[in-house]
């Protein structure tokens, strides 16, 4: 038995405009049109007899995580909210301390949420190979068998063989230049560092105590002051914000005498850019990776992704074209690593396209900002069955609601009433109100806001079942 530990933080800025700060790549259907990357990470564990997962994520992503786990019939996960990002060593320590507080020393299988693995059977075989070594107190890392001289990954050099497919770790090495990477490939001793690990919580915490006691001490204080909130364990921000930033590789794995490596040949990619997605994806007869409503003419070796409308290309080669409801990216495949520079410019210019796209997810459902002017805004709102918005009021805007499908239970001041399909209601400025879906199908409505200020911070929550007061 082991505990899947999924690290679901990060923003994936190199996959902009699909990936945004409030809805990053791990929550999108990037490599599978049926499941997000987080969901695919958990789905490939089916049949391995692991327990319910622990997921560590950003506080802003908590409801996305909870909803995507619910969609996979995972109803009792441990969702640990990291108040600020401090890299992987502290993040894993939080989960290990949480398990230790419950006297659970089951093996942890640590997995990033944003990796793609094509051969699930081979992946599961490697996990089974690693498990007895992790149970015996070893710190297992998984190395990816390289198929090219890659300069974008760190490497693990294998030492003496311990078991079939298992070697001691001789050393971890930094991202090399191309000549060094070729020597690593030729040697047959080196694998790419995948960022996946397997060990007991006690083994990891002991190593952290030996090598980075400063990190461990801060994590202990932060977990000691944590609070349980619904499905979420909120790590205390004040002590944790002082935690040093460090990766598990630098903090522990490079120093421990107990590290072993299991080689993986599983069709792995970390999908760190649009170029790596093109490399990893199935292509048509012209070398194109096409997603969505796409028409191509004389187009070769390109990635074209349409999220909301028809995208047509004519006479292009080696390009990346990504369309979302509010942004379009056009880049040469050789330059996709610089997409993050565009994101930085968006931030510097005070724009909002790095934060979210038009569709914004909430614990009760989602809304799509359809149109906006000087004194009005139009949203398409979807409320999940049994869910409700907070009891709230606005100082600067009034709202008109028109139900498109389903039934809304509306509280409007002292009144409570039902609004059904093709009916509408009006919420004046300053009126206390809420909206609930009492039905069994999603409630869809059009909201027209009007007023002098339409920002999301003009929401005064008086009562909220999701802890957002």
Q: Do the beta carbons of residue 422 and residue 358 sit within 8 Å?
A: no
Superfamily for 359-463?
Jelly Rolls (2.60.120.10)
CA 15 – CA 31 distance, rounded (Å): 12
359-403 pLDDT per residue, tens: 888 889 999 999 999 999 999 999 999 999 999 999 999 999 999
CA 166 – CA 368 distance, rounded (Å): 50
136-167 pLDDT per residue, tens: 999 999 999 998 998 888 999 999 999 989 99
CA 381 – CA 388 distance, rounded (Å): 12
Instruction: Tell me what percent of the residues of the chain surpass a pLDDT of 70.
Output: 100
What are the φ/ψ torsions at residue 136 (nearest 5 degrees)?
-85, 0
Q: Which residue has the higher pLDDT, 329 or 163?
A: 329
The predicted pLDDT at position 255 comes to 94
The predicted pLDDT at position 469 comes to 63
Once rounded to an integer, what is the mean pLDDT over residues 170-181? 91
300-311 pLDDT per residue, tens: 999 999 999 999
Note the CATH architecture for domain 2-269: Alpha-Beta Complex (3.90)
CA 292 – CA 328 distance, rounded (Å): 14
Break the chain into its structural domains and give their ranges: 2-269, 274-347, 359-463
CA 147 – CA 266 distance, rounded (Å): 11
Task: Tell me, rounded to whole angstroms, the distance of Cα 320 from its chain centroid.
Answer: 22
Q: Across the chain, what does the average pLDDT equal?
A: 94
Report the candidate in 249, 253, 223, 228 with the shortest Cα–Cα distance to residue 238. Answer: 223
- What's the whole-model pTM score? 0.89
Task: Tell me if 2-269 shares its fold with 359-463.
Answer: no
Task: Tell me, rounded to whole angstroms, the distance of Cα 420 from its chain centroid.
Answer: 36
9-57 pLDDT per residue, tens: 888 899 999 999 999 999 999 998 899 999 999 999 999 988 999 999 9
CA 237 – CA 219 distance, rounded (Å): 10
55-92 pLDDT per residue, tens: 999 988 998 999 899 899 998 889 999 999 999 999 99
């Amino acid at each position: 038995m082991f505990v899947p530990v999924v690290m679901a933080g990060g923003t994936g800025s190199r996959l902009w405009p699909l990936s945004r700060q409030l809805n990053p790549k791990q929550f999108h259907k990037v490599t599978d049109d049926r499941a997000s990357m987080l969901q695919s990470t958990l789905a490939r564990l089916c049949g391995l007899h692991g327990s319910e997962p622990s997921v560590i994520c950003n506080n802003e992503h908590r409801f996305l995580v909870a909803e995507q786990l619910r969609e996979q019939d995972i109803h009792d996960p441990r969702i640990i909210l990291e108040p600020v990002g401090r890299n992987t060593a502290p993040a894993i320590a939080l989960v290990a301390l949480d398990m230790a507080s419950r006297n659970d020393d089951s093996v942890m299988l640590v997995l990033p949420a944003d990796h793609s693995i094509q051969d699930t059977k081979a992946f599961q075989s490697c996990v089974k190979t690693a498990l007895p070594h992790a149970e015996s107190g070893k710190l297992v890392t998984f190395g990816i068998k390289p198929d090219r001289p890659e300069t974008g990954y760190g490497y693990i050099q294998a030492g003496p063989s311990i078991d079939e497919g298992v070697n001691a770790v001789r050393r971890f090495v930094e991202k090399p230049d191309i000549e060094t990477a070729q020597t690593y490939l030729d040697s047959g001793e080196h694998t790419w560092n995948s960022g996946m690990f397997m060990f007991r919580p006690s083994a990891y915490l002991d190593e952290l105590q030996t090598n980075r006691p400063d990190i461990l001490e801060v994590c202990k204080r932060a977990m000691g002051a944590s609070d349980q909130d619904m499905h979420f364990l909120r790590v205390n921000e004040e002590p944790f914000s002082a935690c040093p930033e460090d990766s598990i590789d630098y903090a522990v794995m490079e120093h421990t005498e107990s590290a072993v490596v299991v080689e993986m040949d599983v069709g792995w990619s970390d999908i760190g850019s649009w170029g790596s997605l093109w490399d990893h994806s199935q292509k048509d007869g012209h070398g194109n990776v096409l997603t969505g409503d796409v028409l191509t003419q004389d187009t070769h070796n390109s990635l074209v992704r349409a999220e909301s409308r028809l995208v047509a290309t004519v006479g292009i080669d080696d390009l990346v074209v990504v369309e979302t409801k509010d942004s379009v990216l056009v880049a040469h495949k050789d330059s996709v690593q610089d997409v993050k520079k565009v994101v930085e410019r968006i931030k510097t210019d005070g724009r909002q396209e790095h934060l979210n796209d038009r569709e914004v997810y909430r614990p009760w459902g989602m809304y799509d900002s359809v149109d906006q002017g000087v004194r009005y805004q139009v949203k398409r709102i979807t409320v999940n069955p049994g869910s409700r918005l907070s009891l709230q009021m606005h100082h600067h805007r009034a709202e008109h609601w028109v139900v498109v499908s389903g039934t809304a239970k509306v509280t409007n001041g002292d009144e409570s009433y039902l609004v059904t399909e093709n009916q509408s209601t009006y919420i004046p400025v300053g009126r206390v109100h809420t909206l609930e879906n009492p039905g069994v199908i999603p409630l869809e409505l059009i909201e027209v806001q009007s007023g002098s200020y339409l920002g999301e911070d003009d929401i005064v929550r008086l009562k909220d079942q999701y802890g957002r007061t």
